[in-house]
Amino acid sequence: MSGIVIDHNKCIKCLACIKACPFNALSLENDKIEVNAACRLCKVCIGVCPTQAISLQDVIKKVIDKNLYQGILVYVEHTDGNIHPVTYELIGKALELAKKIDQQVYCLFIGENIKEKANVLLEYGVAKVLVYDHLDLRYFRVDNYANVFESAIKKLMPNTVLVGATTTGRSLAPRVAVRFKTGLTADTTILQMRENTDLVQIRPAFGGNIMAQILTTKTRPQFATVRYKVMDAPQKVTNVTGSIEIGVVNESMLKSKIELLEVKRKEATFEISEAEVIVVAGNGVKDEKGLKLVSELAELLDGVVGMTRPMIEKGTGSYLQQIGLSGRSVKPKLIITCGVSGAIQFVAGMDKSDTIIAINSDPNAPIFKTAHYAVVSDLYEVLPLLIKQIKGEIINEL
């Protein structure tokens, strides 16, 4: 692989390269210009060096000692200290994976005025919560959060890092992974740990036609982002044995190219992931009449209406209603699919639901492999009867 190499005999320490680097990847350390893990090989530094002391050369990659990396690190996502539920799901999976290799689970908590709230995480059985608490970390800025994240990993040396596949996580995790020149699997739905500490990361690929198994065998740590509502949160432990450690925040971590001008609170929007009952409209719902039936059933069950991707692309609903890998992952107590074929992309976003009822006129529809109860019939016949029964109307058809 290639890397930036500095000939210190030619370098006159004019600092032009440091000033020009767009990634803060160069710094003056011990009277020498050094390259850190933030380097993206953009070669801007090569162009501005007046003595041609900087070059791009092939670098022999060191073989890592996997034994140096111990434990699983979970990034704690939160808003003003209110921890996102995906964090607890990641802790649950991390505890399961760590047990396989007899290692521990750690949490990384970054923010401002969060020290007390970190105690909640210990109640779920983690060994340590590493807290970076600073006024300038109150609001998420991806570059300085990445700096802190990098520092935490160098301190803990975990073999695996788990981050929620949220808007924040999808922005942060890749930036940190690239600093360690390691792999990251996005939107994983299944995680398994091998005894040699290689993490098997499974996710749909090629449009959902296969389930790809992805491994990071030659580098550490291993990074994965995991979707909300696909893992199970753990139970609280009765005997808390973990500890909280306060990380040191220095000025270099807080350097940011993002200037925060104003913070405006976004109005809370409907989130289908939190619904306990969902009635889903698929391609078998062909008209307004079908949509009304689905909506009425959802209303009677105190639930909400979900959609498959093809339905959203037709303009029949909001993207906030879309279920599947390209939409939301859900885990309600009850989900009823109406005219849904059951493509892998959709199923991966709802197969953890407590009870799945599928209505489809095609007896060979893939959705029936996932459903707990299968209704092989025309939804236009089934839904009116089901609605009548729920309303308590006396009917002879059932």
Read off the tokens for 308: 């498959």
- Tell whether 80 and 217 lie within a shared domain: yes
- Tell whether 228 and 284 lie within a shared domain: no
274 exposed, middle or buried (CB, 10 Å; 0-12, 13-18, 19+)? Answer: middle
Task: Count how many domains the chain has.
Answer: 3
- Tell whether 97 and 220 lie within a shared domain: yes
Domain stop point among 191, 225, 254: 254
Kind of pairing, strands 199-205 and 210-214? antiparallel
> Are residues 136 and 114 in contact, defined by beta-carbon separation less than 8 angstroms?
no
Is residue 259 included in any domain, yes or no? no
d(CA 119, CA 82): 12
Read off the tokens for 7: 């000939």
Read off the tokens for 52: 């041609």
Looking up tokens 């803990």 gives 156
The DSSP result for 113-164, as a single string, is S-TGGGHHHHTTT-SEEEEEE-GGGSS--HHHHHHHHHHHHHHH--SEEEEE
- Tell whether 43 and 111 lie within a shared domain: no
- Indicate the Cα dihedral angle 335, 213, 200, 223, nearest 10°: -90
Note down the domain range covering 377.
Answer: 272-391
Looking at residue 1, what is its pLDDT?
61
Span 30-53, pLDDT tens digits: 899 999 888 889 999 999 999 999
Domain stop point among 58, 91, 106: 58
Looking at residue 396, what is its pLDDT?
54
Is residue 42 included in any domain, yes or no? yes
> What CATH number has the domain bearing residue 123?
3.40.50.620
- Tell whether 240 and 164 lie within a shared domain: yes
Read off the tokens for 275: 């619904």
Phi and psi angles of residue 281, each rounded to the nearest 5 degrees, phi first: -95, 125
How far is C-alpha 27 from the geometric centre of its chain's CA atoms? 32
* pTM score of the predicted model: 0.83
Is residue 265 included in any domain, yes or no? no
- Indicate the Cα dihedral angle 112, 264, 175, 45, nearest 10°: -100
Is residue 396 included in any domain, yes or no? no
The DSSP result for 200-233, as a single string, is EEEEEETTTTEEEEE---SSSSEEEEE-TTSS-P
Span 364-373, pLDDT tens digits: 999 999 999 9
The DSSP result for 24-79, as a single string, is --EEEETTEEEE-TT-----HHHHH-TT--EEEEE-PPPPP-GGG--SEEEEE-EE
- Tell whether 54 and 105 lie within a shared domain: no
> Are residues 220 and 66 in contact, defined by beta-carbon separation less than 8 angstroms?
yes
Name the residue among 103, 142, 95, 126 with its Cα closest to residue 245.
Answer: 126
d(CA 118, CA 120): 5
Looking at residue 210, what is its pLDDT?
81
- Tell whether 95 and 132 lie within a shared domain: yes
Alpha-carbon distances of 178 from 38, 59, 185, 221, rounded to whole Å: 7, 16, 12, 11
3-state secondary structure of 5: strand
Looking at residue 394, what is its pLDDT?
55
3-state secondary structure of 280: strand
Given a cut of 50, the residues of the chain with pLDDT beneath it are 398
Looking at residue 398, what is its pLDDT?
45
Name the residue among 298, 294, 323, 320 with its Cα closest to residue 308.
Answer: 323
Looking at residue 36, what is its pLDDT?
87
- Tell whether 73 and 54 lie within a shared domain: no
Among left, alpha and beta (phi > 0; psi -120 to 50; other), residue 339 is: left
Residue 6: other Cβ atoms inside 10 A = 18
Of how many residues is the chain composed?
Answer: 398
Name the residue among 119, 95, 118 with its Cα closest to residue 105.
Answer: 95
Q: What is the DSSP letter of 62?
A: P
- Tell whether 238 and 115 lie within a shared domain: yes
Query: Order of strands, edge to edge, in the sheet holding 199-205?
Result: 190-193, 199-205, 210-214
- Tell whether 150 and 192 lie within a shared domain: yes
Is residue 260 included in any domain, yes or no? no
Name the residue among 148, 109, 136 with its Cα closest to residue 258.
Answer: 136
> What CATH number has the domain bearing residue 27?
3.30.70.20
- Tell whether 75 and 54 lie within a shared domain: no
Is residue 381 included in any domain, yes or no? yes
- Tell whether 237 and 290 lie within a shared domain: no
d(CA 35, CA 239): 45
Gyration radius from the chain CA atoms: 25
d(CA 156, CA 105): 11
Is residue 72 included in any domain, yes or no? yes
Looking at residue 179, what is its pLDDT?
93
